[in-house]
Amino acid sequence: TSDIFQATDSIGTNIFAPVAEEVLSFDEFRYFTGVTTLKYGAFTGMVNMSSITLPASVQSMDEASFRSSRKNVSCDINVVDDNPYYKSDNGILYSKGGSVLYKCAKYIASLTLSDDVTSIASYAFEKNPIETIYAPNAEIVDKKAVFYNCANLKSVTLKSISGSNTTLVFAGCLNLTTIEFTGAFSGGALNTFGSSASDYTGRNTYSEGVNKLRLAVNAVVPTTEPWSTPLLDATKCGFIAHGEITI
């Protein structure tokens, strides 16, 4: 099968569909040395895949390449050492220099990212059962569904969220109670916390005084619309401005 891909420069949506659910590991992908591009949904349906290794030839990928590639099991995404564009650290996919986290399909309870990580890609943690993420220097700018349906997520620390195209970052995070920004906050699109004004984190009820939004010293507090209602109204998002932190 790999011979076919020596002359194939891109992997598109559902290309592996006939056998997707049967794939338990795909480390043989490292030998598909003709592949340079991974398109949207390249590994869709591989719900039982526990590991994959990207070849040195991969130069670019859609940020949704691994979207829904796993639902049933944790998956390590590995990269051969001589790939000049991407790398893997403990099964998590990063840009070669480590500044961008592209995908974490590995099931872990908590993750602390170094200050070198300055950006998190769309769908990076989608449906991951992770509980705590500490990424004090990471910004989410014009991204989609970064933590979409992370139902166990309780606490997130980021540098900032911004961009008019940033949507559904925390949608479906049913147990999220603490969001901490170490830098400025402009919020992105109004549905950053969910799909409607009354359901920002995928819940219908909130506990005033329990959900906490922590902002850095000198950060702009979102006390005006469109953010004052979803963030500070206990009947909606229910997050309250909870003091200041020193960075």
Beta-carbon count within 10 A of 168 CB: 24
Environment class of 163 (CB within 10 Å of its CB; exposed 0-12, middle 13-18, buried 19+): middle
Question: Which whole number is the average pLDDT over 144-157?
Answer: 90
Prediction pTM value: 0.85
pLDDT tens per residue across span 180-228:
888 866 666 656 765 544 444 434 344 555 667 676 665 555 565 656 6
Task: Give the integer Cα–Cα distance in Å for 91 and 101.
Answer: 11
Would you call 64 helix, strand, or coil by DSSP? Answer: coil
Q: How far is CA 120 from CA 95, 100, 143, in A?
A: 10, 6, 8
pLDDT beyond 80 at 157:
yes
Task: Give the integer Cα–Cα distance in Å for 166 and 182.
Answer: 18
Which candidate, 170, 180, 193, places its Cα nearest to that of 136?
Answer: 180
Residue 240 — very low, low, confident or very high, per pLDDT cuts 50/70/90? low
When the pLDDT of each residue in the chain is averaged and rounded to a whole number, the result is 81
Question: Which whole number is the average pLDDT over 63-82?
Answer: 86
Task: Give the integer Cα–Cα distance in Å for 91 and 203.
Answer: 31
Task: Give the integer Cα–Cα distance in Å for 247 and 245.
Answer: 6
Among 14-28, 128-142, 228-242, name the most confident range. 128-142
Question: Which whole number is the average pLDDT over 122-139?
Answer: 95
pLDDT at res. 107: 93
8: left (phi over 0), alpha (psi -120 to 50) or beta: beta
For 8, residues 6+ apart whose C-beta sits below 8 A from its C-beta are 32, 34, 35
Question: Which whole number is the average pLDDT over 146-166?
Answer: 89
Better-scored residue on pLDDT, 3 or 164: 164
The token duo for 182 is 């170490």
Residue type, 238: G
Bond before 226 cis per omega within 30 degrees = yes
pLDDT at res. 245: 45
Residue written as token pair 């702009």: 220
Better-scored residue on pLDDT, 238 or 29: 29
Which candidate, 99, 150, 113, 149, places its Cα nearest to that of 129?
Answer: 150
Question: Which whole number is the average pLDDT over 29-48?
Answer: 91
pLDDT beyond 90 at 84:
yes
Residue type, 121: A
